[in-house]
Amino acid sequence: MSQHWKPLPDDLSEPARRLVEELRAVKDAHRISLAELGRLTYLSKASWERWLNGKRLITSQALAGLIAALDCDAVLLTSLLRQAEAARDAESAPGAVTAVAAATAVEPTAAAAPAADPVPVPLPVPVSLPVARVALWRRPQALVTVAAVAVLLLVAGLYLHGLNGGGSAAASSSGRSPAPPAVSTGALPAQLCQSVGCAGKDPQAMGCEADDHTVLTGTIGKVVLYLHYSPRCRAAWAGITDGSPGDSATVSTGTGGQETALIHWGYDNYSMMVDADAPGTILQVCGHQKDGDNCTLPLSGPAARAQALSTTAPGLTPTATPSS
């Protein structure tokens, strides 16, 4: 179902413009409406209208949903999103305009050179899981953590591989059930924590986003709330998109654990993790913004929910609605 598209805003960066054009091409190629696209990705029609008309840059979570639901060039789309995010950050950085002006003054002949078409850079991630989640620049403290973790990842993989070989026995002796079988997604980076050991830690830095499942969503007006769960890490965290500075989403376990995703600037963020493996855990995400408060439905057994989502065709699993 192709359509006559509106002209894109003039102030879009080149990678953002190319990304929107590619997203429009994917929608047209599959001949689906905005409403159908929303159902397939568990996101609102209004959100897709904003992304496909260049009003907002698509979020990494939304792009992940699109790639999981439809046949498309995952590497190209992910690369363009990262380039568009970098261009947006450069434009908003203090002194960016001054730096560009200075560069032009030093090399006046550069403007006369023909501009080469931007070439997408392949990403060193599996095609089945190609999308970076919420950008790390939204959490400056995460940059320091990732820098340290990068060194450890070279040895942590082999070490944790040995630990996982005896994971079932350790889980039985501790009273916890072993982790459910993971869906094959190619080589995954090693997770650096599990269950209670993940509480209060960053899911990106700990490698837990590699098998992230969005097990519940909810809304407050245009704001979208997410409950994320990692079967390998047996931990959960909250996400929030299409919000404004001051909006927040809090994930709670029902046993005292909770973490909050607060939007400091921009329109999205994610929280640190909570232990989702403790007996009696009931996960829920509640959001707060100027238009009011709302929560997702409570969820027990996130591992079973994640497994069901992994084995059900996109679009056939009903989306959880927020509680009143």
Q: Which residues contact 20 (CB under 8 A, 6 or more apart)?
A: 8, 12, 51, 52, 53, 54
- Rounded to whole angstroms, the maximal C-alpha distance in the chain is 71
pLDDT band at 104 (very low <50, low <70, confident <90, very high): very low
To the nearest whole number, what is the mean pLDDT of the chain?
73
The domains of the chain, with CATH numbers, are 14-112 (1.10.260.40), 140-311 (no CATH)
The Cα 25–Cα 31 span in angstroms is 10
Q: What is the pLDDT of residues 52-75, one digit of tens each?
A: 999 989 998 889 989 988 889 999
Residue 68 or 152, more confident: 68
Question: Which residues in the chain belong to E strands, given as ranges?
Answer: 213-220, 223-230, 235-241, 248-252, 258-262, 269-270, 274-275, 282-289, 292-295, 299-300
Of the candidates 209, 205, 265, 263, which has an alpha carbon nearest to the alpha carbon of residue 237? Answer: 209
State which amino acid sits at residue 256. Answer: G
Per-residue tokens: 217: 């969503």
Q: What is the pLDDT of residues 2-25, one digit of tens each?
A: 568 889 999 999 999 999 999 999
Could you tell me the pTM of the whole model? 0.46
- Give 230's DSSP letter: E
pLDDT band at 152 (very low <50, low <70, confident <90, very high): low
Q: What is the pLDDT of residues 262-298, one digit of tens each?
A: 998 778 899 999 999 888 889 999 999 887 898 998 9
How deeply is 67 buried, as exposed, middle or buried, from its count of CB atoms within 10 A (0-12, 13-18, 19+)?
A: buried
